[in-house]
Amino acid sequence: MTTTGGPGGPSPRTRELHASVVIHAPPERVYAALRDVRRMARWSPECVGVLVFRGRGGTRPSFVGFNRNGPRLWFTFCRVTTAVAPTEFAFRVSIAGLPLATWGFRLAPAGPDGLGTEGPGSTCVTQYWQDLRRGARGRVADLLGAAVAGTSPAARVRTNRSGMDTTLRRLKRSLEAAPEEGGAPRPPAR
């Protein structure tokens, strides 16, 4: 598993994070799991529940994410922004009408060695986070984050970096342990 910051050199504030893992399951299966956002509470160390509102007339679905950090509980409003099976799934997160972040997953076939070489059944999953807090509204969102979640912008980056690694590890374990249609559980990755 790898985690990286955003592009470019050092900056006063990290605006983007990426973390990747190879999962021994086909991209279609991984995408189907990620598309069911209710399952995020099983994988994320911070999300404890999701309430989904189905989109009408071609609109993208939206949902409320319920989150916990120690004794602090809060919710965010999320709207699916990208749903391209089986390559990318993303959603935008806001609180009190203020944009916070875009969270997403990019999927690509990976060979048995996890390096993208030919071979069936594995997926390189890259989770990404993009900070959307900018300007005066961003400063208000920062204050809300400190009051509600108990995290400063710098602490939020550390929390998200760690949380992404945990989320991907749990997603991998979940999909590799679950039996495929008509088959036995896959052997654990080494």
Could you read off the pLDDT of 75-91 as tens digits, one per residue?
Answer: 999 999 999 999 999 99
Strand order in 47-53's β-sheet?
A: 2-5, 16-23, 122-131, 98-110, 88-95, 72-84, 62-69, 47-53
**What is the rounded average pLDDT of the residues 148-154?**
90
Does 189 reside within a domain? no
For a pLDDT cut of 70, what percent of the chain falls above it?
A: 81
pLDDT tens digit string along 12-58? Answer: 688 999 999 999 999 999 999 999 999 999 999 999 999 999 767 66
pTM to 2 decimal places: 0.84
Does 73 reside within a domain? yes
- Split at pLDDT 50, 70, 90, the class of 178 is confident
Does 85 reside within a domain? yes
Domain containing residue 66: 2-177
Does 146 reside within a domain? yes
Which residues lie closer than 8 Å to 113 by C-beta, 6 or more apart?
119
Mean pLDDT of the chain: 87
Q: Are 6 and 14 in contact (CB under 8 A)?
A: yes
**What is the rounded average pLDDT of the residues 3-17?**
64
Does 55 reside within a domain? yes
Does 14 reside within a domain? yes
Does 47 reside within a domain? yes
What is the structure's pLDDT at 184?
Answer: 44
Q: How many domains does the chain have?
A: 1
Q: Is 180 helix (H, G, I), strand (E, B) or coil?
A: coil
Does 33 reside within a domain? yes
CATH of the domain at 42: 3.30.530.20
